[in-house]
Structure 1
């Protein structure tokens, strides 16, 4: 694999549009924060779930970092979401989001929520 020598990192501005929302997935609650670039595309993701110090909390934090870094290096949201959609693991099941009533995992939910809310590159 060849890495671009002059990669341009897309950084989100200090003040940015976005949202923070809570969603129930099965028995768990997750908090999703999404920040936009000036052109409206997704620029950053922060996902919090589980108790501080738990495996779930650590994995959702690492997941958020990986997605944000990928976006910053120009990975299209559509490509990222396609790889994440359909992932199956707990917590899963019914949500309290009327647009996404059921999900196969928190990762599946985030991919579907973000592609519904932000333009695809």
Structure 2
């Protein structure tokens, strides 16, 4: 098995939200969605894709500050049927999951949700 880790930050959605530029925000989401689809085509049954944001940034809210909506986490694994990982207490859960996936030493913070991603 080959192991790898890709961490990608799409900064342009954050910048468009701060600029309150709805059209640019939508465009960046559409570009991201397009390339996520291409990435998903390359994944194997052993790979896990996690897509998330660190905060909300609604460009229609009337100010340029971070917004406080709950941020969803999308988890994709080829062959995995619909699953819920519940409401996570902290973003550290994503790090703890990645660490467990790679068999590294447990993180100080966060609880892994890797066990929820097993095919039954």
TM-score, normalization by structure 2: 0.31
Q: Which has the larger radius of gyration?
A: 2
Larger proportion of helix: 2
Higher relative contact order (CA 8 A, sep 6+): 1
TM-score, normalization by structure 1: 0.31
